[in-house]
Structure 1
Amino acid sequence: MTIQRFDTGPRMSQAVVHGNTVYLAGVVANKAAGESVTRQTQDILSIIDGHLAKAGSDKSKLLTATIYLTDMKTFPEMNAVWDGWVSAGNTPARATVEAKLAAPQYNVEIMVIAAR
């Protein structure tokens, strides 16, 4: 079975496809780094849409999601954006945890696995 890698760098690939499963690396905000959790979540979900499309999938095929927040007090703020984005009737298994992220301008990181 072949493995496809997308947006590959020296440390990691943004997306890896094995069989009919798409694995995304953790995604942080590009344009909205340092902004509100709402803006960062919107930016991240837009990036996820792009990575899934490149890999031949979309948010209706999400299997799992892991969401990292630097402060669980922002859980409702992130959920408000997530709930508006996720495909109704196709919600993934999901976990949300509080964690320190790679740099202080990031307050949200999301990693998903999807079917193709």
Structure 2
Amino acid sequence: MTIQRFEVGPRMSQVVVHGNTVYLAGVVAGKAAGKSVTEQTQDVLAIIDGHLATAGTDKTKLLSATIYITDMKTFPEMNAAWDGWISAGNTPARATVEAKLAAPQYNVEIMVIAAK
């Protein structure tokens, strides 16, 4: 079975397709500084839409999602953006974890797996 990689870098690939499964690396907001958790989440979800399209799929085929937020107090704010984006009836298995992220301007990072 072939493996396709998109946005390949020296450390990681942003998108990996193996068979009919699409794996995304963690996605953070493009310009996170000064943005609220809602704005960062919306930005991340738009980027995820683009990555899924590149791989030939979309959010209706999500299998799982792992969401990292820097402060669990912002959970409702992140969820409001997520709820406005997710496809009703096609919700993935999901976990949300409070964690330190790679740089202080990032408040949200989301990683998903989808079917093709």
TM-score, length-normalised on structure 2? 0.98
Decide which moves more: 29-38 or 81-90.
29-38
Q: 2:69 maps to which residue?
A: 69
The number of residues matched between the two structures is: 116
Distance 1:90 1:32 in 2: 28
1:1-116 aligned at under 5 Å gives the runs 1-116=1-116
Unaligned runs of 5+ in 2: none
The Cα shift of 1:35 comes to: 1.1
Q: Is the 8 A contact 1:33 1:40 kept in 2?
A: no
Decide which moves more: 76-85 or 25-34.
25-34
Distance 1:50 1:11 in 2: 21
The Cα shift of 1:88 comes to: 0.4
Unaligned runs of 5+ in 1: none
Q: What is the RMSD of the two structures over their aligned residues, measured on CA atoms?
A: 0.7
Identity of aligned residues (%): 86
Distance 2:67 2:19 in 1: 24
Distance 1:93 1:83 in 2: 14
Runs of 4+ in 1 over 4 A off after TM superposition: none
TM-score, length-normalised on structure 1? 0.98
